Structure 1
């Protein structure tokens, strides 16, 4: 083969080879596209994930899972009622001594009133003995009203006396005070002790003399017989 013809044949082969290569590349293109598209999609997803919309999630830890609220009603807190403090026991009231010497309870109560007043006035025990002996003689320790003083009948009393206008435990007359004052066992006792305290040296006098000096009775020695019982009553109370 001449040299010119040989060169022409080589050119034809080269051109044919180039066309074949191009054809093969074109036929392989569609098969490779999906892989390239998937790669591009992943890359696009990464770019979108790093965009502004996901900045908050990228800058802080994932939020903790939220527990759905319970549908059960929350238990109502109960407040225990405070236990009331124990009240202090009431101080027992002083008991009235039982009657002695044949007295009734009412008479004993009047005796206690007379003795209590002596203690309140800081008088010695002997003053209480004189007071009790006097009241035993005058009224037998009964708070007596008197019809001659009608007002006295409206006051609490344990009977009625008729000695002129005398009333109360000590049978005191209106010159000693008002009816209300003389019918009050404690007030009448205060007035008796006030008069006794004005008797000079009364502490050294016999009980009957001390009583008579205050009362100015028509029977000056009548008080003596009550001294023993008066002592017994005072001993029971003081």
Structure 2
């Protein structure tokens, strides 16, 4: 091979080597970009996992920080101004009256919860002076007007209007009938109330159970004796 042919061959080989070097450089860049992409993805995963863990911790801690400390049922000034489960003011005072009346008559927590549930379902814990006739023109089975009033929406055969409108007296009337209900303690609370109130829907009071339990528990605090 002469000198000219050697130069030609060398010239042909140089582009090949350059292309290979370029490919190696490109491959190195791709590998670096891939490593960077992986690091970014890992960082995102870690950040996401940390956020999930923080939210989970907050969900656990929040109920602990917002739980209502028990207060004295006989002292309305100790009731939380923000209310309990959305019930506040006059409603909490009436619930406290029901709880205190139940205690005086010997009813335990279950009976107290049933009493509060009943008043929630009947009047939203308000001693209202009207009932189903005034709001919906509901009549009794014999066609006569219903005469329901008060916390428990009791009709005239329960007692006088004064008794039915007084929270403590109306609660006592309710618990008197509950006590005469055989095995009420073994019944579902809503069914026990239904048997006392004789309403149309046995499950009507069930949605109020958790709120009633929260209120009864919140009103279970020790009352300070003064004087």
Fold conserved between structures, TM > 0.5? yes
Report the structure number with the largest CA radius of gyration.
Answer: 1
Residue equivalent to 2:174: 192
1:96 Cα deviation from its structure 2 partner: 4.1
Give CA-to-partner distance per residue, 1:187-211, whole Å, 9 cap, x none: 0000000000000111111111111
Q: Which protein has greater RCO, CA pairs closer than 8 Å, 6+ apart? A: 2
Q: Residue 118 of structure 1: which of 92, 102, 125 is its match?
A: 102
CA distance in 2, matches of 1:237, 1:104: 13
CA distance in 1, matches of 2:188, 2:86: 24
1:148 Cα deviation from its structure 2 partner: 9.7
Q: Residue 105 of structure 1: which of 89, 94, 105 is its match?
A: 89
Q: Residue 147 of structure 2: which of 160, 165, 181 is its match?
A: 165
Q: SS of the counterpart of 2:126?
A: coil
CA distance in 2, matches of 1:185, 1:235: 20
Q: Residue 116 of structure 2: which of 114, 117, 132 is its match?
A: 132
Residue equivalent to 2:41: none
The answer as to whether partners of 2:98 and 2:167 remain within 8 angstroms in 1 is yes
Aligned length, in residue pairs: 136
Q: Which runs of 5+ in 2 are unaligned?
A: 1-73, 139-145, 221-227
TM-score if structure 2 supplies the norm length?
0.56
Residue equivalent to 2:128: 144
CA distance in 1, matches of 2:156, 2:85: 31
**Range moving further from structure 2, 219-228 or 166-175:** 219-228
CA distance in 1, matches of 2:131, 2:157: 17
C-alpha change, 1:148 and 1:201, in structure 2 (3 Å) is: closer
Is 1:209 the equivalent of 2:191? yes
C-alpha change, 1:96 and 1:192, in structure 2 (3 Å) is: farther
Q: Which runs of 5+ in 1 are unaligned?
A: 1-92, 150-159
Q: Residue 224 of structure 1: which of 206, 222, 225 is its match?
A: 206
Q: SS of the counterpart of 2:85?
A: coil
CA distance in 1, matches of 2:125, 2:150: 9
Two-structure CA RMSD over aligned residues (Å): 2.0
The answer as to whether partners of 1:117 and 1:189 remain within 8 angstroms in 2 is yes
The answer as to whether partners of 1:96 and 1:109 remain within 8 angstroms in 2 is no
1:104 Cα deviation from its structure 2 partner: 2.6
**Range moving further from structure 2, 94-103 or 208-217:** 94-103
The answer as to whether partners of 1:209 and 1:221 remain within 8 angstroms in 2 is yes
